A and B are shown apart, each in its own frame.
Chain A
Amino acid sequence: MDAPLLQKAEGPSEATQALNQRMRDNLVAIGKNRDEQAFSDFYNHFAGRVKSFLIGKGLTEAVADELSQEIMLIVWRRAESYNPDKAAASTWLFTIARNRRIDYLRSNARIEVDLDDEMLEVDEDDHMTHEAQVDLTQQSVRLEQALLKLPQEQRQVMHLSFFRGKSHGAIAQWLDLPIGTVKSRIRLAMQSIRTEIMTAESE
C-alpha cells in the first residue's frame, strides 16, 4: 500500500541511467530502421509495466492486457514521431498509455495545447541553444534523485496518485488524512523536485 515511488533507498544507479539510455536508443532504432530486436527489448521491459499501470488505474486484467498490446503496437507504428531531445522514452510511453486509456474510457479525445495556436506564449527556454539544453538522460536521473530525496510521506502520496491512479480524495480516505494534508504533501513534493532539478542544472 505504501510502496515508495522508487523502491531503492540509495541513489539511482548507473544501471538505471543505462536502462534509460537503452530504451531511448531502442525507440530511435525502431523509428529509423524498423528494428525488431529493439522493439523486442522495449516490449520486454515496458509492456507488463504498462499493463500493471492500467490495472492500477482501475481497468480489469483482460482490458489492461488488450490495451497494453494496442499501446505497444502504437509504439511500433509511431516511434518515428519520438524526439529523443524532447522527452525520455518513459515519458513518451506514459503519454501514449494515458491517452489510449482516455480514448477507451470516453468518446472524445484528450484535449491538449495546439502548438500552432497563434496565442501560444513561447517558452524562453525553447530558444536555448542545443549546448545549453540539459541532456535528457541526465535530466531523468536528476528527477529520480529528486524523487528519492523526498520524505517518505510525500513519496507515498506521489506514488498513490500517479501509480495507483487514486484521486486526492481517495488517497485521503485510504491514508486516513484530511484532504488538505494530501494536497499540501503533493505541493511540497513538487516544490522540492523543482528546486532539486534547478539546483542540479545550475551546478
Chain B
Amino acid sequence: MMHHLTDETLQDYASGVLNSSMETLIACHLTVCPVCRRNAILAEAIGGLSFNDNPAAEMKATASDILAMDKTVPEAHPSSLQHVSQPAISQPGVPRPLARLLPTTLDDLPWKSFGPGLKQYNLGSQPRKEGAFKLLSLDPGSKMSKHKHKHRELTYIISGSYSDDIGHFKAGDIADLSAEHHHSPHVDSDVPCISLIATDAPVQFDSLFGKIVQPFVGI
C-alpha cells in the first residue's frame, strides 16, 4: 500500500499557504503519485469555484486600463521562471523539485553525522523554531527517539524503508503527520533509509535523551 497525502495537506498545498520546504517535499511525492496529483487538481478546481461564491470587490481599474497597461508595463519575470535555468543533477530516486536544491549527488553530499549510523544534510536556512528542512540518512537497524510534532511533519522517502507506529514506509511514500502522532521510526531496509523531512515547528521528543541532543541535531 502506498502512503498518501492527507486531504487537509493537499488543500493547504492547493491554496498556496505552505512554505517552500513543504511545497518541495509535496511536489516530490506528487511526481511519483498520480492519485495525489489528481486530488491536488480537484482541490484547485474547488478553489476556482470559490471565486463565484463571493461578492466582487470594487476594482480601481477597468478592463481598458489593463489593456493600456499591456502596452506600457514590461513583461514581468516572476520568480516562478527562475529555477528553470538551474540545472538539476539527475540521479535515481530524486525527483526534480529536490534535485534542483542539491549541489551534487546524494553520495557526495557533505553529510554531517549526528549519532552512530545517523547523518543529515541541512537544506533550510530558517531559524529552528520555524521548523526544519533536511535530508536524513539512517543506517539499517537504526531508530529515532520517540517524538511528536507541534504542527505538521512531512517525510518523503527517497530510498530504503522504515516502520513506525503508523505503518511501513518505502521509497516514493509520504508520511503526513500532524500533532496527534507520536512515533519512533526504525529503519527496516538493508540499505540506509534516506528521506527528506520538513516540519513547521521543532519536534517534541518524549525522552530526556532526545531533548538533550535535539539542539545539536536541529530538528
Contact = CB atoms under 8 A, between A and B. Distances in A.
Interface string B82-114: 110000001001111100000000000000000
A163 B103 CA distance: 39
A186 B66 contact: no
A69 B56 contact: no
Size category, B interface: 35 or more
B46 to A, nearest CB: 6
Contacts of A140: 45, 48-49
Contact of B42 (A77, A100, A120, A193): A193
A93 interface: yes
Contacts, number: 227
Contacts of B43: 190
A187 B6 contact: yes
Contact of B57 (A5, A52, A93, A190): A52
Contacts of A10: none
Nearest to A185: B8
A5 B20 CA distance: 28
Contacts of A43: 62-63, 66
B79 interface: yes
Q: Binding site of B, secondary structure by majority: helix, strand, loop or mixed?
A: helix
A124 B48 contact: no
Given A46-B51, A108-B79, A73 B69 contact: yes
Nearest to A71: B66
A79 B193 CA distance: 44
B58 interface: yes
Given A53-B50, A111-B97, A69 B27 contact: no
B180 interface: yes
16 contacts: A6-B53, A36-B63, A45-B56, A52-B56, A52-B57, A87-B41, A90-B49, A90-B52, A93-B48, A99-B78, A113-B37, A118-B90, A119-B96, A121-B31, A123-B37, A163-B53
